[in-house]
Structure 1
């Protein structure tokens, strides 16, 4: 080959590189997750490094866990998303529907807390938390009320018209709160009769509104409508960052463990890249960014944490000592009937 033809060949190969890069960048992964703080945190601070490493683009499809599950189910034969984040109870439903594919082995997956590995590695936890009680700090201070210490504080007559409760059929927070109330009344995750029977005479009369999600809480706290409501420490931290006067209280009966799980959607158009994204989101690097910028508590114990973040992780570990884990197999088997009963007898 002459020098001239060598130069021409080199130039030709160089001309292919931008096209190759453009092709890689053209690959877009769609990930379903909660909007608001979670979407902002991952879009602005977490996905960037993965995009830099792979040349792909990650786009969030926002919605509640129920919304995301419905979208995945509707497009099961030709998925429009590649990865999805779901609250643990709903994730078990997704796995049962055949919507998730097994996550491949990785160092990051092996590093997770055992509770963050779903059965058969069909999903994995990306964020750890629990549902307890949140309260309007400004209102409590003004009225001289002590911070809540029990789920049954929601039944205190002084909170009449000041309790806001998420709807059980559409919210994990609402389901968790009801299941803890049910346990206090003598029920369990298979028998909810005690909870349904006692609700109209205890917490029910104090409820101002049943809301489908927690989106309205910031407004209802600022207007002085909401005094008490089920919520997680992570969600409370997000509200406080916006200047909303709320605090978290760990109930003496325990909070309910809430793991946000991720799964690679079965039969998606980019299986290899989707597996890489799922693996990256379990890494200490990704989880450190989610913790620092979005108070997303890590499921990988190797995640570095300093300052306020380290204090937050230590506090969660303390609260986890009396946290309760839901029997999701029993709950999911009975939930459709419970939802119907809730709509007919409570949220009428």
Structure 2
């Protein structure tokens, strides 16, 4: 009997330890985060998530997808949400808010350090910003004796006939070009007619391609087909990093903001952790990391960037503080109507 007991006892002990480990693993709460893939997923998994998990004793499961994918997951799981915190472009984020997928953001001291632009509404916050403005081939401009562009008005200059590319209205850059021209002509999201008139009669004749693909846009520049485009600060900087002579311009009338937004999801089973992660994403150390790895302009006014990084992103009150927001509640309601009108009158 004793010999038998000596054999079984270690086995029993091992089973007990394994069971204890399972219980412990199950006791660690899990936070599901829906956000972008690619370099954003890499930065989160390598830098942001490990530090947060260690500080909060929580496990994070990262669910990668673009904004459309993540919004579709929220819609599909509306009766029982799996995700606890989501990152979306600001347009889809406003749809998520309107559909009731986002919980209220609880106030926290860190939010007092944010630029006003970061407070989108009471259910979503911007964790970073990129700008929609002008991208131009510096060598082509220099060779032609042209000054650096400084205004949206350059899009109607006949010197750039068939040397200009703008993404279509299905792309935020194209949509914001339409809105910007409406603003310059005395309108805006709620009075868009002036924008359509300007785009159809003044801008469209100069456009060689209504190009939505970043890869195709770079090809147009590299082949010399275009020397000017409406594009994002992050896209332009990524292209410049390859050695191509391109520069981003914040037009004097203002650059439109494209915000990277986050919201805690309703009915989360770990709401405190979701709120804490949102706050963590606003801290200076994470904001610096997002600027360095993603090209996101910091929305925390206390962030200090090295000059080399600051030159690549919207930074400080002179840039972040002057970015023009989009009224997405109007845009999302009208976008289908505007798209049909765009296809009939502009991109024909």
Work out the number of aligned pairs and report it: 339
- Paired residues of 1:30 and 1:81 also in contact (CA < 8 A): yes
Where 2:130 maps in the other structure, the secondary structure is strand
Task: Determine the C-alpha separation between the residues in 1 that align with 2:180 and 2:26.
Answer: 51
- Paired residues of 1:128 and 1:258 also in contact (CA < 8 A): yes
**Equivalent residue for 1:92?**
94
Match runs of 1:65-80 below 5 Å: 65-80=67-82
Superposed CA offset, 1:191-237 (max 9, x none): 11122123222211222222345454333333333422223323322
Task: Determine the C-alpha separation between the residues in 2 that align with 1:288 and 1:163.
Answer: 34
**Equivalent residue for 2:113?**
111
- Give the alignment's TM-score, normalised by structure 1: 0.82
Moved more, 276-285 or 172-181: 276-285
**Equivalent residue for 2:301?**
301
Moved more, 264-273 or 337-346: 264-273
C-alpha displacement of 1:179: 0.9
Where 1:166 maps in the other structure, the secondary structure is coil
**Equivalent residue for 2:22?**
19
Match runs of 1:54-203 below 5 Å: 54-63=57-66, 65-120=67-122, 122-168=123-169, 170-203=170-203
Point out the structure with max Rg over C-alpha: 2
Where 1:191 maps in the other structure, the secondary structure is coil
Where 1:202 maps in the other structure, the secondary structure is helix
Task: Determine the C-alpha separation between the residues in 1 that align with 2:239 and 2:27.
Answer: 38
Where 2:302 maps in the other structure, the secondary structure is coil
C-alpha displacement of 1:247: 0.8
Task: Determine the C-alpha separation between the residues in 1 that align with 2:245 and 2:39.
Answer: 17
Moved more, 254-263 or 140-149: 140-149
**Equivalent residue for 2:3?**
none
Superposed CA offset, 1:26-61 (max 9, x none): 94624223x444444434433332244445244242
Structure 1 unaligned blocks of 5 or more:
1-6
Match among 31, 34, 38 for residue 31 of structure 1: 34
- Paired residues of 2:115 and 2:321 also in contact (CA < 8 A): no
C-alpha displacement of 1:12: 8.1
Change (3 A) 1:147 1:66: farther
**Equivalent residue for 2:7?**
none
Structure 2 unaligned blocks of 5 or more:
1-9
Task: Determine the C-alpha separation between the residues in 2 that align with 1:304 and 1:321.
Answer: 15
Superposed CA offset, 1:306-330 (max 9, x none): 3423566785532356543333443
- Paired residues of 1:221 and 1:245 also in contact (CA < 8 A): no
- Give the alignment's TM-score, normalised by structure 2: 0.82
- Paired residues of 1:51 and 1:58 also in contact (CA < 8 A): no
- Paired residues of 1:256 and 1:323 also in contact (CA < 8 A): yes
C-alpha displacement of 1:278: 2.0
Match runs of 1:236-251 below 5 Å: 236-251=236-251
